[in-house]
Structure 1
Amino acid sequence: MGSQQIDIVMLPFMAHGHLIPFLSLATQIHHRTGFNIAIANTPLNIQYLRSTFLQHQNPPPWIHIFELPFNSAGHGLPPNSENTENLPLDQIGKLVISSVSLKTPFHNLLLDIIKKQGKPPLCIISDVFVGWVVEVANIMNTVNITFATGGAYGTLALFSFWLNLPHRKTDSEEFNLPGFPERCKFHVSQLHEFMRKADGNDSWSRFLKSQFSSSLQSFGWLANTAEELEPLGLDSLRKYTQFPVWPIGPLLPKQLLNKSPLSSSSSTTQHAGKSPGISAEKCVEWLDMHDLASVLYISFGSQNTVSRSQMMELAIGLEKSWTPFIWVIRPPLGFDLKAEFRSEWLPEGFEARMKESNQGLLVKNWAPQLEKLSHKSTGAFLSHCGWNSTMESLSQGVKIIG
């Protein structure tokens, strides 16, 4: 830390889709205010963030990175499992619950900061999933701000569902969520199986109700969205929480918002620590060979995949359509997402035919997404509709198939 004062301390949840928006938020705050900012997380997640700065040789002097000790095996998780990447749902649940173990080391980190600079930071910005930070901030005599990395509408739906479990209070398959207008109906088919089973006594319900209730005690919220994009969502979220909600999105590189060519450093900042299955340069070269708005980009996010039969049918349909495509492909459901991809999961000879005809480009595991969405040849995006992907696609006017 040296002699430099830390003005803001941030604690993201342990997932890439949360780490990256927090890093982007830190950058924007510094550029507007000059504040020095600390980001704390588990060792492997800090490695992800540090790898971002390796592109520039050193972290900028205004950002400070702190590791919080974490033992994944002690929480029934595989070795070196410190974020949601490649974890099945049952283990994601264990990871979510394990985040409470960071409370004591985070408390000690703040004590150390206060001891060195003689006063607490101006505020602590924490993730919605770590509501226990509100209590720590109060003990440290500072302010807690909760940051919702998702959209306002989705965040409200998530909070209202877990705090109320409205599907358990009706015999109908349709239900209303407190905080939403009466005309907004939700259907049980829209819920994942583990949400349908939630009854208030399961581990997900107990943990999330506790953390979300605590997050509602913070001074105010930041949301990765824009007033023009979600007027209903923001209005409803403000009424539900009864405190300020400030939209600060979209947290995307300025070049992307201005539709300027995206630099490699901006892309790296958005995807800290990931190793692409193919270089960004090769993806751009492939896209350059195709017509304006002719390419379908396919990606289901870093934590999702499809069944083997769906994968097979999608490949057959793509080939018959003659539509150019880039497909970020991972092992299907039921297989280790970190395993090597097998050709048997696709039609025989599919990858070779796509390569020979230049119709399709298969990217194993992960590839930088911003370059594809901002390229003039990309015309549509077949997506799982995660919030970061949605914001990126909307910013470029690329049609989304969800």
Structure 2
Amino acid sequence: MEKTEVVFVPIYGVGHLFSSVELAKRLIHRDDRLSITVLCMRPPSFYGVDPYVESLAASNPSIRFIGLPQVDPPSPEVYNGPEGFISLFVESYKPHVRHALTQLMSPGSGAHTVRVAGMVIDLFCTSMIDVANEFGIPSYLFFTSGAGLLGLMLHLPTLDTQIPTGTELKDAETELKFPNFVNPVPPFSLPKPLWNRKEHGYTWFVYHGRRFKEVKGIIINTFAEFESHAVNSLSDGQTPAIYPVGPLVQLEGLSHSLSDHTRTQYSEIMKWLDDQPPSSVVLLCFGSMGGFDEAQVKEIAIGLERSGYRFLWSLRQARVGMPMPNAYPNPKEVLPDGFLERTEGRGFICGWVPQVKVLAHPAIGGFVSHCGWNSTLESLWYGVPLATWPLYAEQHLNAFQLVKELGLAVELRLEYRNGVDLASAEEVERGMRSLMAADSEVRTRVREMGEKSRAVLVEGGSSFVSLGRLIEDLMHNN
């Protein structure tokens, strides 16, 4: 049977790759007429995600992965910030994507011409719309974050024309209104690149938000019951067709990519959790890019010790520049004197944790998180309440949405603090106690939303129906 081909062009970030592959898996599982090819950009060497790509390919043989050639990253003088870096890096891949599509669509000896029904591009890959148009291929945006951020980015080009010249969003005297949020958004809950309109990051956000409207449809890693207001606000007649198909959660892990040391650590973590009472442990984990300096580490440790709760802490150094953060070589050197001895038995400190497997463990009762979108969906899936500690990117907006809009998280940190970034031990202790309260309304709401997050994926559920609409659209293109 001749297949209908769909080509994915994700960026190289681990979270983006994971959710893109989960979407691809769900498409081919739902309809065997579909065939998926993923075009993989090679990341700059300091990102170190090649093992993840290899693992994804090894564990998903039904999906074709095509590695694109390495390109030189843009120089710091040109990109001026991560948004510019990623956008220009993607732009430099256009010739390679063009070549890959030509090869894919050219018939071999005795073969049928491959018809590509759609190109699914990442939110930072909007320059690839140009390549899709050259080939007459409909393009679809895969928005790996939520409908809240999507709506903000779609509205940003309009907002930009309404703000007086010289006025910065961070200096707004009132909170900002966006159609996708019920409540006004405080300026310091916006992604940091949006604070200053003169910055390159702001320009790139406006650029991508404007180009989002050029695609045929937008696939979102969310579900209608979770972000009901934000999703409904996108049905305004001016936005491309919306397909909320989430939650797309990587539940199986990537066993192919684990080193011997990591496998050993994985076993130690799970064995320790097995010995803890149900819902008694707080997980502290801040994503692949999150870490803290020595002063903040000490405040967290003091707050944890005073709270009296059991904890599993993924302790990593603060990121400096573009490289990924690393574990502290000797945690004892940065922790308060005697901390490890006083918390022995009720605390476990490591550099890396298998986050999904840990959240699924019955011993976990709360999650102190950076509020990355994948982490948010994973915590909901397992019904584990969050305490918000956003660090970068869109995480402050996610935290605002979870706490103020949806009532699905406890506030530990929320906004940027005007340059005062150190959270005190008192804040940490207070956050722990609020998070772990057994009778809290947040805990009940998260448990209920977790049940909904599973129900939407089965036949008749909202995301199941939305995925069906997407497949019908793709087949119509073919």
TM-score (norm 2): 0.69
Q: Which residue does the alignment assign to 1:94?
A: 85
Distance in 1 separating the partners of 2:362 and 2:326: 33
Deviation for aligned residue 1:198: 2.7
One-letter code of the match for 2:69?
A: P
Q: Which residue does the alignment assign to 2:27?
A: 29
2:334 to 336, 345, 353: 345
Asked if 1:112 corresponds to 2:103, the answer is yes
Distance in 2 separating the partners of 1:311 and 1:186: 30
Asked if 1:186 corresponds to 2:167, the answer is no
Stretch of structure 1 that moved more, 294-303 or 165-174: 165-174
Are the counterparts in 1 of residues 8 and 121 from structure 2 also a CA contact under 8 Å? Answer: yes
Distance in 2 separating the partners of 1:186 and 1:340: 35
Stretch of structure 1 that moved more, 232-241 or 222-231: 232-241
Q: Which residue does the alignment assign to 1:361?
A: 348
Trace 1:69-80 onto structure 2 (pairs within 5 A). Answer: 69-72=69-72, 74-76=73-75
Asked if 1:65 corresponds to 2:65, the answer is yes
1:156 to 135, 138, 151: 151
Are the counterparts in 1 of residues 282 and 310 from structure 2 also a CA contact under 8 Å? Answer: yes
2:17 to 19, 33, 36: 19
Are the counterparts in 2 of residues 224 and 247 from structure 1 also a CA contact under 8 Å? Answer: yes
Stretch of structure 1 that moved more, 17-26 or 127-136: 127-136
- Return closer, same or farther for 1:313/1:280 CA change in 2, 3 Å cut-off: same
One-letter code of the match for 1:195?
A: L
Identical counterparts, % of pairs: 25
- Return closer, same or farther for 1:307/1:194 CA change in 2, 3 Å cut-off: farther
Are the counterparts in 2 of residues 129 and 212 from structure 1 also a CA contact under 8 Å? Answer: no
- Return closer, same or farther for 1:178/1:322 CA change in 2, 3 Å cut-off: closer
- Return closer, same or farther for 1:340/1:92 CA change in 2, 3 Å cut-off: farther
Asked if 1:50 corresponds to 2:54, the answer is yes
Trace 1:118-267 onto structure 2 (pairs within 5 A). Answer: 118-161=113-156, 164-165=159-160, 168=167, 172-180=172-180, 184-199=183-198, 202-239=199-236, 241-252=238-249, 266-267=252-253
Deviation for aligned residue 1:294: 0.2
- Return closer, same or farther for 1:158/1:327 CA change in 2, 3 Å cut-off: farther
Deviation for aligned residue 1:302: 1.1
Stretch of structure 1 that moved more, 331-340 or 374-383: 331-340
Are the counterparts in 2 of residues 277 and 367 from structure 1 also a CA contact under 8 Å? Answer: no
- Between the two proteins, the alignment pairs up a number of residues equal to 365
Deviation for aligned residue 1:337: 4.8
Trace 1:272-287 onto structure 2 (pairs within 5 A). Answer: 273=257, 276=262, 279-287=265-273
- Return closer, same or farther for 1:229/1:191 CA change in 2, 3 Å cut-off: closer
- Return closer, same or farther for 1:348/1:288 CA change in 2, 3 Å cut-off: same
Stretch of structure 1 that moved more, 136-145 or 168-177: 168-177
The secondary structure found in structure 2 opposite 1:229 is coil
Q: Which residue does the alignment assign to 2:473?
A: none
Are the counterparts in 2 of residues 163 and 212 from structure 1 also a CA contact under 8 Å? Answer: no
TM-score (norm 1): 0.82
Deviation for aligned residue 1:48: 2.1
- Structure 1: which 4+ aligned runs deviate by more than 6 Å? none
